[in-house]
């Protein structure tokens, strides 16, 4: 057994050790989508159904989950074992086959607890012993977000006011096996990360199977549109731009589908797309960048979704309207956004 130890904050080398330097990922955005997703991984086959069994353990995700990162490598994972204490995150370092996967749950109405609970229950039923089970401030808030082995955006977006973390382990004949779960959400999208470490051997077999419990997708009456109509503006939180670029990544974005459906069903509605940045760089440069990003969103809405040009206008205001401070990476991440502002109601 490897003893737990506190992890100083932050430790960027730990993420590189665990494989998040992104080299050789070969990922094409959030393009791999299934009508329903289940993670079928043989997590330490000797204990799946008894010492001699090799039956896989099934961790079912809600229908409509969109897979992002799927990476396996031999590495060391700093597994969080308790909330942050006095500025340190207690961890247990485990080496072996580390598999990390991430998903988005577009249009979900589930809370982070509702997303996490079925996954947690399945792990406990499979014989895992919980180590960490916490939410937001109890976990350690900002300190936890940047000390734990959490993927960077666009794989995972972490709302510092609404996330949950869970870790568990079990002993097998080959050694210690562990799982780390991270769940967060924006106004209209859920995010899930599952990191599994097993004693060295062949990578876990991963397939997808149907789930009978469908997750609602964006419709004109869904959360995004309701927020837009009720508050007059909404952040298009699932958009992903290349770093320092105004080019919108080639993915399907549920927020744009919802916004387009809303506008096409209401020809009298008008929306301003407003780009925002963090404070890195000059004001002049950020004003231009934020406008170009808003223009990229307008182009996508017109070209792929058929929204009329007269229903859309663009503005860029750089870093002049932050939603939080820019002193931290988490704050800068939240400030880099495009918002839809309802200027004329149908």
pLDDT the model gives residue 344: 86
- 204 in a structural domain: no
Same domain (yes/no): 192, 334: no
Same domain (yes/no): 154, 250: no
- 207 in a structural domain: no
**35, 210 contact by CB (below 8 A):** yes
- 178 in a structural domain: yes
- 41 in a structural domain: yes
Same domain (yes/no): 231, 193: no
Tokens 């577009």 belong to residue: 106
Same domain (yes/no): 241, 164: no
Who contacts 277 (Cβ-Cβ below 8 Å, separation ≥6)?
Answer: 286, 289, 290, 318, 319, 335, 336
Same domain (yes/no): 193, 238: no
CATH number of the domain to which 309 belongs: 3.30.1330.60
CA-to-CA dists, residue 63 to 92, 102, 119, 179, angstroms: 33, 14, 14, 22
Query: Over the stretch 313-329, which tens digit does the pLDDT of each residue have?
Result: 999 999 988 877 888 77
Query: Over the stretch 118-170, which tens digit does the pLDDT of each residue have?
Result: 888 888 888 899 999 999 889 998 899 989 999 988 788 888 888 999 999 99
Reference 164, options 119, 116, 123, 129; nearest CA is: 116
pLDDT the model gives residue 164: 93
Same domain (yes/no): 148, 87: yes
Same domain (yes/no): 260, 166: no
**160, 145 contact by CB (below 8 A):** yes
Q: Give residue 107's domain range.
A: 5-198
pLDDT the model gives residue 292: 94
Angle ∠(229,235,236) on CA atoms, nearest 5: 105
Say how many domains are in the chain: 2
Same domain (yes/no): 293, 227: yes
Same domain (yes/no): 295, 175: no
Same domain (yes/no): 17, 126: yes
- 155 in a structural domain: yes
Domain boundary among 198, 215, 240: 198
- 180 in a structural domain: yes
- 313 in a structural domain: yes
Determine the longest span between alpha carbons in the chain, in angstroms.
Answer: 66
Tokens of 268: 């009298």
DSSP conformation letters of 197-242: EESSSSPPP------SSPPP---TTSHHHHHHHHHSEEE-TT--B-
Domain boundary among 198, 213, 231: 198
Q: Which residues of the chain have pLDDT under 50?
A: 1-5, 7-57, 202-221
- 214 in a structural domain: no
Domain boundary among 163, 198, 233: 198
pLDDT the model gives residue 269: 93
**227, 187 contact by CB (below 8 A):** yes
pLDDT the model gives residue 43: 34
Q: What is the DSSP letter of 309?
A: G
Q: Residue 34, class by beta-carbon neighbours within 10 Å (0-12 exposed, 13-18 middle, 19+ buried)?
A: middle
Same domain (yes/no): 80, 189: yes
Query: Within the chain, where are the H helices?
Result: 12-17, 112-125, 136-139, 141-147, 223-231, 254-265, 283-305, 329-335
Other C-beta atoms closer than 10 Å to the C-beta of 111 total 14
Same domain (yes/no): 184, 300: no
């Amino acid at each position: 057994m490897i003893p737990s130890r506190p992890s100083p904050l932050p430790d960027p080398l730990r993420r590189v050790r665990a494989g998040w330097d992104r080299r050789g990922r070969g990922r094409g955005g959030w393009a791999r989508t299934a009508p329903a997703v289940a993670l079928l991984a043989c997590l330490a086959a000797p204990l799946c159904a008894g010492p001699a069994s090799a039956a896989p353990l099934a961790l079912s995700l809600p229908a409509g989950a969109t897979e992002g990162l799927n990476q396996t490598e031999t590495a060391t994972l700093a597994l969080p074992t308790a909330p942050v204490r006095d500025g340190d995150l207690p961890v247990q370092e485990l080496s072996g086959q580390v598999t990390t996967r991430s998903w988005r749950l577009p249009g979900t109405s589930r809370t982070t607890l509702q997303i996490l609970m079925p996954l947690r229950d399945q792990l406990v039923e499979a014989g895992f012993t919980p180590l960490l089970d916490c939410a937001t401030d109890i976990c350690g808030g900002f300190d936890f977000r940047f000390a734990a082995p959490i993927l960077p955006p666009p794989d995972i977006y972490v709302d510092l006011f609404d996330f949950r973390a869970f870790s568990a382990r079990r002993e097998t004949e080959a050694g210690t096996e562990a799982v780390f779960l991270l769940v967060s959400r924006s106004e209209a999208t859920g995010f899930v990360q599952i990191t599994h470490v097993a004693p060295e051997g062949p990578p876990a077999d991963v397939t997808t199977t149907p789930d009978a419990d469908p997750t609602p997708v964006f419709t004109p009456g869904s959360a995004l549109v309701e927020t837009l109509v009720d508050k007059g503006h909404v952040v298009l939180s699932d958009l992903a731009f290349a770093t320092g670029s105004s080019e919108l990544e080639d993915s399907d974005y549920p927020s744009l589908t919802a916004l387009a459906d809303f506008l096409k069903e209401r020809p009298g509605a008008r929306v301003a797309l407003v780009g925002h940045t963090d404070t890195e760089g000059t004001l002049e440069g950020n004003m231009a960048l934020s406008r170009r990003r808003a223009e990229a969103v307008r182009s996508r809405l017109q070209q792929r979704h058929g929204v009329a040009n007269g229903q859309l206008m663009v503005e860029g205001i750089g870093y002049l309207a932050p939603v939080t401070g820019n002193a931290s990476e988490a704050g800068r991440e939240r400030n880099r956004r495009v918002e839809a502002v309802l200027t004329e109601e149908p």
